[in-house]
A and B are shown apart, each in its own frame.
Chain A
Amino acid sequence: MRQVGTCRRDAFATVAAVVLTGLVSVALLATVTLLRNDALRTRRAVAEAQLRQLLLAGQVAASAALTDNENERRVLKIDLPEELTASSSLTLVLDPANQPDLLTATLEAGHDGFYQSQALTYRRVDGRWALAEAQLAGPPRRVSLLPEEPPP
């Protein structure tokens, strides 16, 4: 009888210990997940800020690259400062529309494994190209999800 009683007490303590350990583990796991997600979010925010800077700079480069006679599709690689060449890239695709006074420019920026693009629409006003529309193509994405070559 005494042995049975001891066994029951032992089992109670073990069950209590296992339940508490489980609960604490779940809380720890949740905290670690939150910290990890926060770190990823911070990294992503930094990359996104850099991508936006690249897109803003790219628009200036796109405006400078436009000529009076834009008849063909052109793909230009925009030169970046030395500090950024290893981690970033900026590509401009100029695509004349069917209308003579309309042109679409697509800017594709990449930085630290992230990618974002924007579509710019230029309209010719008084013989000069003027930016009429700018549209971000959704939030930044991981580069691994993208095809390596831009579509023709």
Chain B
Amino acid sequence: MSRPNRTATSRRGFMLIHMLLAIGLFTIFSLAAYRLIRLSLRISADVSRLENHHLRHDASFARLREDVWGAVAIGPVGKKGLRIRKPGRETVTWTADSEGALVRSEATRGSYPKRQSWPGVGENILLRVDGPTVSITLPGRGDTTDRTVLLVSQVMLTTEGQP
């Protein structure tokens, strides 16, 4: 009498263990899959964000370099700005605004000023003037140290060397 009962109990236990194992495996798989999906999506978003940041950074620095290269006079505007005088009537002002954008304003006598902005590039940036040289200090992120980029004015470099 007791034997069939024991078999039924064993079967039920066997099924339960199988179920528990299946649920456990499914949970582990789900967690791993969720993390993988999240990581994949985050990497794709980060890559896109970084690419955009690099493009904005390169474009703004190329423009700033061109302005400094042809400058006949450079002066500071606070700690985060420059005023560049170019031959002729142009004056260009570069500033890092409170929202972290690097802003270029070009004023020519007799016309409306032109304004260009590169969001995110001017965050914690420092611009310093030393004669014909402009140094841009970019803050380090995480373990990286601060980086300094030097720009030079071709005209001022030449005129300063002349007697």
Binds A, one of B4-12, B46-54, B75-83, B108-116: B46-54
B138 interface residue per 8 A CB criterion: no
B83 to chain A, nearest CB (A): 18
Structural contact, A27 and B43, CB atoms closer than 8 A: yes
Binds B, one of A16-24, A82-90, A95-103: A16-24
Q: Using a Cβ cutoff of 8 Å, how many contacts connect chains A and B?
A: 69
Residue count of chain B within 8 Å CB distance of chain A: 28
A16 proximity list for chain B (CB < 8 A) = 33
**Are A33 and B65 also in contact (CB < 8 A) when A20-B33, A56-B154 are?**
no
A131 proximity list for chain B (CB < 8 A) = 154-155, 158-159
A104 to chain B, nearest CB (A): 13
Q: Mark B67-91, 1 if CB is under 8 A from A, else 0.
A: 0011000000000000000010000
Binds B, one of A72-80, A134-142, A144-152: A134-142
Classify chain A's interface size: 20 to 34
- Across the two chains, which residue of chain A brings its CB closest to B30? A16
Structural contact, B37 and A59, CB atoms closer than 8 A: no
B162 interface residue per 8 A CB criterion: yes
| Residue of A20, A30, A55, A134 touching B44 (CB-CB under 8 A) | A30
Structural contact, B54 and A37, CB atoms closer than 8 A: yes
B27 interface residue per 8 A CB criterion: no
Structural contact, A139 and B69, CB atoms closer than 8 A: no
A31 interface residue per 8 A CB criterion: yes
B159 proximity list for chain A (CB < 8 A) = 130-131
- In the A-B complex, the 3 residue pairs with the smallest Cβ-Cβ separation, listed nearest first, are A134-B154, A27-B40, A30-B47
